[in-house]
């Protein structure tokens, strides 16, 4: 029997899933089976996978029932001691399993190990200068911390004991947004988590990924699902959850919904969510980690639009959010300066990735104006140097330095 079962649910992602499977088959750890659950694809996925992989994978097609049902069917078919989930648009780096399997082998009290990840765009280009999860500590997986959001960047980063899934059940098919977060909250009742502080997975962010891009329908469903899974988690810990924690956790979800509704122009609904946040825990709206970072992340999604006008749209979005905060009496100059600095820095990196070096320079200089601490960021300094000196000259200097090193003239 294989030590690891890799379960890949897919739906109309023929081109992406081939790259995903290839990233599994090139793992340095060899003892695994691969199960593909095709949740009703009609784009030729069946023919493409059977032709390319033959009996190297197990392929099952089913009528469309949703990602959770597809994963649960994979669990039922699995033979492995450990279960690894992989979304069909994500990629593993070659050492992912090799570094995670020994952790579960040596720590029987741990039910799940996960890792950091790089976020990439539809074309595979890295988004951001730091991996997702680079600021995590083991203490971040207390119930209090986990109730404020999914700290794990998706099932693709995890390796889970099969016995743990048998004990708590699989994914809740009634939850469409946050089904993995719901699973982690249930698992945390019985098992410890640990993680590898290294990015071993590439998480792809693109228009076909439901978890990133807002829409009116998705926003409402996401809020409803998140409130549902939190109430489930509170009920499972009846008597041990304080009213303050419950209010803050629910307020956080309303605050995220406020950000999403402004992004799609649903001002009336956004105001309702903002008022709900103020009624439960208004202090969250001045917390940079809890509210400021998601605000900048939403601005980043807007900035990923197809043309340069998306930069203005991103800045306008942040301005509107701050105006709504002012309307309910929340004005914190320090918080606002930090948010604006982070937004300009983000836009600088987006512009740099588009080879718009002049816009990148201007945005990064604005980031430094609002927060001089950005001067200590190596990525910022590198982009500014390229904009001032020029990429060609910097490359020539680097080539000269490398030549001197190769010649032994400098160390």
pLDDT tens, residue by residue, 11-56: 999 989 999 999 999 999 999 999 999 999 999 999 999 999 999 9
Q: Where does 11-81 show beta strands of DSSP type E? A: 32-38, 58-61
Q: What is the distance between the alpha carbons of residues 84 and 161, in angstroms, rounded to a whole number?
A: 9
Mean pLDDT, residues 309-326 taken together: 93
Delimit the domains of the chain by residue range.
4-204, 216-394
Classify 265 in phi/psi space as left (phi over 0), alpha (psi -120 to 50) or beta. left
pLDDT for 334 beyond 90: yes
Best mean pLDDT range from 140-144, 269-273, 307-311, 406-410? 269-273
Q: Where residue 67 falls among pLDDT bands split at 50, 70, 90?
A: very high
Contact 174, 143 (CB under 8 A): no
Contact 116, 79 (CB under 8 A): no
Percent of the chain with pLDDT over 70: 91
Query: Within 13 Å of residue 268, how many CA atoms lie on the same side as its CB?
Result: 0
User: Per-residue pLDDT tens for 151-197?
Assistant: 888 899 999 999 999 999 999 999 999 999 999 999 999 999 999 99
pLDDT for 116 beyond 90: yes
Contact 274, 258 (CB under 8 A): yes
pLDDT for 326 beyond 60: yes
pTM for this predicted structure: 0.84
Mean pLDDT, residues 194-219 taken together: 80
pLDDT attached to residue 393: 45
Whole-angstrom CA distances from 271 to 257, 266, 292, 312, 316 are 10, 9, 18, 23, 17
Q: Where residue 145 falls among pLDDT bands split at 50, 70, 90?
A: confident
pLDDT attached to residue 102: 97
Q: How far is C-alpha 97 from the geometric centre of its chain's CA atoms?
A: 20
DSSP H/E element including 112:
strand 110-120
Give the long-range contacts of residues 126-134, CB within 8 A, separation 24 or more: 127/205, 127/300, 127/304, 127/353, 128/349, 129/349, 129/377, 129/379, 131/199, 132/199, 132/203, 133/157, 133/195, 133/197, 133/199, 134/197
Contact 219, 261 (CB under 8 A): yes
Q: Do the strands 58-61 and 32-38 form a parallel or antiparallel pair, or are they unpaired?
A: parallel
Correct CATH for 4-204 of 3.30.420.10, 3.90.550.10, 3.40.50.620, 3.50.50.60: 3.90.550.10
Query: Considering the chain, what is the average pLDDT of its residues?
Result: 89
Q: Where residue 376 falls among pLDDT bands split at 50, 70, 90?
A: confident
pLDDT attached to residue 149: 86
pLDDT for 403 beyond 90: no
């Amino acid at each position: 029997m294989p030590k690891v079962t890799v379960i890949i649910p897919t739906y109309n992602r023929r081109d992406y899933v081939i790259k995903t499977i290839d990233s599994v088959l090139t793992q340095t750890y060899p003892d695994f089976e691969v199960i593909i659950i095709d949740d009703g694809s009609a784009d030729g996925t069946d023919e493409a996978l059977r032709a390319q992989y033959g009996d190297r994978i197990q392929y099952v097609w089913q009528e469309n029932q949703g990602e959770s049902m597809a994963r649960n069917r994979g669990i039922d078919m699995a033979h492995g001691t450990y279960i690894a989930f992989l979304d069909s648009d994500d990629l593993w780096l070659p050492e992912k399993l090799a570094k995670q399997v020994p952790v579960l082998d040596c720590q029987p009290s741990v039910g799940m190990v996960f890792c950091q990840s790089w976020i990439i765009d539809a074309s595979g280009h890295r988004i951001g200068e730091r991996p997702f999860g680079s600021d995590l500590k083991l203490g971040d997986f207390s119930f209090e911390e986990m109730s404020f959001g999914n700290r794990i960047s998706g099932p693709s980063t995890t390796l889970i004991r099969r016995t743990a899934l048998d004990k708590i059940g699989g994914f809740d098919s009634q939850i469409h947004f946050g089904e993995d977060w719901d699973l982690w909250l249930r698992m945390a009742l019985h098992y410890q988590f640990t993680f590898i502080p290294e990015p071993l997975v590439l998480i792809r962010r693109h228009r076909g990924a439901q978890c990133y891009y807002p829409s009116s329908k998705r926003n409402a469903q996401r809020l409803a699902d998140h409130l549902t899974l939190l109430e489930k988690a509170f009920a499972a810990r009846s008597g041990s959850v304080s009213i303050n924690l419950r209010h803050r956790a629910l307020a956080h979800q309303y605050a995220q919904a406020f950000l999403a509704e402004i992004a799609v122009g649903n001002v009336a609904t956004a105001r309702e969510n903002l008022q709900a946040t103020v009624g439960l825990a208004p202090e969250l709206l001045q917390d940079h980690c809890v509210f400021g970072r998601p605000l900048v992340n939403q601005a980043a999604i807007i900035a990923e639009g197809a043309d340069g006008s998306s930069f203005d749209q991103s800045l306008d979005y942040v301005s509107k959010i701050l105006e709504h905060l002012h309307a309910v009496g929340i004005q914190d100059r320090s918080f606002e300066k930090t948010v604006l600095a982070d937004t300009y820095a983000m836009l600088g990196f987006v512009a740099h990735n588009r080879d718009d070096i002049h816009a990148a320079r201007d945005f990064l200089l604005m980031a430094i104006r609002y927060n001089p601490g950005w001067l200590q960021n190596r990525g910022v300094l590198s982009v500014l140097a390229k904009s001032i000196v020029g990429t060609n000259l910097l490359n020539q200097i680097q080539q000269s330095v490398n030549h001197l090193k190769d010649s032994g003239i400098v160390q």
